[in-house]
Chains A and B, each alone.
Chain A
């Protein structure tokens, strides 16, 4: 996928498209998690802009639909943000909306953690720490078979507690897998509290650099920065880690930075309030 510096008009168009997709992802995730009373809305909202920046690109849509071995492979390692992923796939036209609307229903393939039975989802994830080793294998295979297309893996910051993440990081840089990039959604919350109180891994960029990765640190909700990060990581000399500072629950004022929204599901009243807030942005 070619990427050059975009002319200003085109850049602002792409940003507008991504911002709109992000809003629709948030609406989907809120509506669906509320409907089936499932968890992880906070994590879905923090990663929505990253997913929108990735899936708003028409080139990726075409590649996914063609199933080409040269396609970009996107792996949501923080698989509990499945509702956001399904929203991105549905709202960008990869997944049929009628199927998407059956999220977590009995018999639906749209399981609460990312499921490879869903069109557009490359791998099932949900147990943290699995996505990056898999992504590393995909990147290595692409190198071996001379398949183009970058591999994009989205991790959570709590997920970086897992040793297997670092096993993969070491392997990736040792083997020069510059066709691999990672987004780390740094929403600073994990299961039982703030990441810096449970297992502080900051400064994260230092750690990824120490493992031989090229790094950048951006605001996870700044679409101009996201577009630039996607473009720059396309041609890096080493695997790239994009450390993206986010807000858990971003986009819904009463959910922002609140740990309980990792677990709770919005009730109908909360859903209405949340959707109203999004509509006015």
Chain B
């Protein structure tokens, strides 16, 4: 996703000289193309997230279209007040690009696991939050930030995400799987985890539908769509508060008729603060391939039971 974003940005920068990229001393082996193509519009600003985020606000105020690139936790939590006061409040045309969403940094450890960044950005007024799931959707999401003016958070994986077939899409979602009984149940997910969910769906031949949400803030716009399904499940690689599930729940509570709802994600990030690969850490939290397959089988059998009533 990172390379896709940077490639799209580089292409756009050829036609729009307002675009600048500010990198927080990160992006080794990925930012060099942009930096060498546009050396006067690339700033390797150093390890100084608060100073850098204020600087981005200042740059944007003078008509520049700013992209700040760093690891997800550093780009968001370290400078949250600057994002709130200097970027969000002023409606600054700044896109914060957070890399390594979820547990993908694996044995790098707790400081690098980005599981609250989504919630933090969802809390910021006016912040457009974009959660692509593969290279194609990352390019689309980059396009969204290019076509709109104002603050955005572009949440990316670390790399190697396989491209997923999109059966249908809109600005805020992409349908990635439809089973033999598509309306029997809906699974919502986002980010790089979408590939695991789709693989699980294929492996167990999940009867229902899998949709990746690419603009979680706007999930309320899918209100009527969500109501079609008797069963709704959210699977995500973040903590519950402030995540997609939280926003979906809020939407569901507006209606008297509610689907059978399940949330699967990181219940307690401190339950396993030990080393492990991305997949191993996912398995601790029940969001690896095996756990999701098991969940989908269970969802199918519950849906089947209900339809037999």
Contacts and interface: CB of A to CB of B under 8 A. Distances in A.
Interface of A: 69, 116, 122-124, 126-127, 129-130, 132-142, 144-145, 147, 163-164, 167-168, 170-171, 174
Interface in B69-84: 81-82
A26 B46 CA distance: 41
Interface stretch (B28-36, B59-67, B140-148): B59-67
A163 B50 contact: yes
Q: Which 9 A-B pairs have the closest CB atoms?
A: A137-B58, A133-B54, A167-B51, A141-B62, A137-B55, A167-B48, A164-B50, A138-B58, A134-B58
B90 interface: yes
Contacts of B90: 116, 123-124
Interface of B: 20, 40-41, 43, 45-46, 48, 50-64, 81-82, 85-86, 89-90
Chain B CB within 10 Å, residue with most, of A130, A135, A163: A130
A134 B62 contact: no
A232 B191 CA distance: 53
Given A116-B90, A124-B85, A144-B20, A134 B61 contact: yes
Contacts of B63: 69, 141, 145
A122 B86 CA distance: 11
A133 B89 contact: no
Contacts of A133: 50-55, 57-58, 82, 86
Contacts of B89: 124
Contact of A164 (B43, B51, B59, B61): B51
Nearest to B46: A171
A126 B85 CA distance: 9
A171 B55 contact: yes
Nearest to A124: B89
B90 to A, nearest CB: 6
Chain A residues touching B, majority SS: helix
Contacts of A137: 54-62
A126 B81 CA distance: 11
Given A135-B58, A138-B61, A174-B46, 5 more contacts: A133-B52, A136-B51, A137-B55, A137-B56, A144-B41
Contacts of B61: 122-123, 134, 137-138, 141
A141 B61 CA distance: 9
Nearest to B41: A144
Contacts of A132: 54
A168 B55 contact: yes
A100 to B, nearest CB: 22
Given A124-B85, A124-B90, A147 B62 contact: yes
Contact of A171 (B40, B41, B45, B82): B45
A167 B50 contact: yes
B59 A141 contact: yes
Contacts of A142: 62
Given A123-B90, A124-B89, A171-B45, A136 B62 contact: no
Nearest to A151: B58
A136 B55 contact: yes
A69 B51 CA distance: 23
B48 A138 contact: no
Contacts of A147: 62
A259 B222 CA distance: 56
Contacts of B40: 144
Nearest to A141: B62
Contacts of B55: 133-134, 136-137, 140, 168, 171
Given A69-B62, A137-B58, A144-B64, A168 B85 contact: no
Contacts of B46: 167, 170-171, 174
B156 to A, nearest CB: 24
Contacts of B86: 123, 130, 133-134
A122 B81 CA distance: 18
Contact of A168 (B20, B51, B64): B51
A134 B54 contact: yes
A163 B51 CA distance: 9
Contacts of A139: 58
A211 to B, nearest CB: 12
B78 to A, nearest CB: 11
